[in-house]
Amino acid sequence: MPEQTTTGRRVTPTAIRLLPADADRQTWLTARRAGIGSSDVAAILGVADRATAVHVYRDKRGELVDDAGEAALWGRLLEDPIAQEWARRMRSVVQRVGLVAHVDEQWRMATLDRQVLECPMDRSVKTRCALEVKCRNAFVASRWRSDVPDDVLAQAVWQMAVTGYDHIHVAVLIGGNEMRQTVVQRDERLEAYVLDQVRQFRNRHLLPGIEPGWDLSKAQALIDMDSLMHPDRVGELDITSIGEVIEYAERSARKGAAEKALKESSAILRRLAGGARTVTFGGELAYEYTPVRKRTPDLDRLAERWPEAFADCVQEKTHYQIRIAPDLRQGAKR
């Protein structure tokens, strides 16, 4: 990833504009691959929910399949209404600024959601700053009770390091009907730490072309990435890797044995209950049976009777399941 030098107009204390806000998405994606943006930093630091350093590495090499999904789509659609409502409430003015880069190290990039032309924190002077906009579901509302989540904090710290601003406003719409707002102040020690970690990632992985290790605490995100990148695959293992296959087989065997044992225990509890819904011990509740309802559509019948509705509403997706060779499976069970 060679560093590019661009001459642009300075639009913040320490950043120049690389692309205007109305640049098309493909041009923006191509430009940001030449550097590291604020949305990459949380993944590099290991605090992003659905991305890892491997995602960033492959993205910069043009290998990552763009499959942002519904959440990202609605985030883009709602960004402007959230920003405008924040400006109305704070009696301020905001504008889009585009892709910017640090004037001295142009690989340090950021796409500010909005530039604030009159910071509401001090109305005695017309100070500029920035606004970060988020759209999050109600299940993560607790993360915003006392402070900003780590992924948003990492993003804001990087934006300040790029732009030279000493604070970033944050507005988040939670669950589609509750807006919260806060301010992230500049912390020089935290900024130095983030810059050091990102530089190490760039120098150790991006520049020499060495993929970082897989963070298995984000296993599902890595599985999803790999499935998108390699829908058709044939590979060959060496002697140093076959142990991982055996370990998978052993874990799968343990899971199967545990599921079988759980079903056996369930049958025993049903026998002990003798048809009762509530079972007590010493006058206190021991266990009970609670109804769990679910709806299971008959897709074959739907396709036969209402083919147009079936075609319009049912999506068929293919995923790949790991099946260990029979000899290795048998060895794992011993």
Distance, CA of 80 to CA of 58 (rounded, Å): 30
CA-wise closest residue to 169 among 111, 121, 98: 121
Chain segment 58-95, per-residue pLDDT in tens = 999 988 876 667 788 888 899 999 999 999 999 999 99
Mean pLDDT of 103-120: 95
pTM of the model: 0.70
What is 10-215's CATH topology?
Lambda Exonuclease; Chain A (3.90.320)
The confidence score (pLDDT) of residue 23 equals: 92
pLDDT band at 3 (very low <50, low <70, confident <90, very high): low
Phi, psi angles (nearest 5°) of residue 296: -120, 110
Intervals of CATH 3.90.320.10 along the chain: 10-215
The confidence score (pLDDT) of residue 1 equals: 53
Distance, CA of 191 to CA of 164 (rounded, Å): 11
The confidence score (pLDDT) of residue 67 equals: 65
The confidence score (pLDDT) of residue 263 equals: 83
CA 220 to chain centre: 11
**288, burial (CB in 10 Å: exposed 0-12, middle 13-18, buried 19+):** exposed
Mean pLDDT of 144-158: 89
Cβ–Cβ < 8 Å for 52, 46: yes
Distance, CA of 199 to CA of 312 (rounded, Å): 48
Mean pLDDT of 29-40: 93
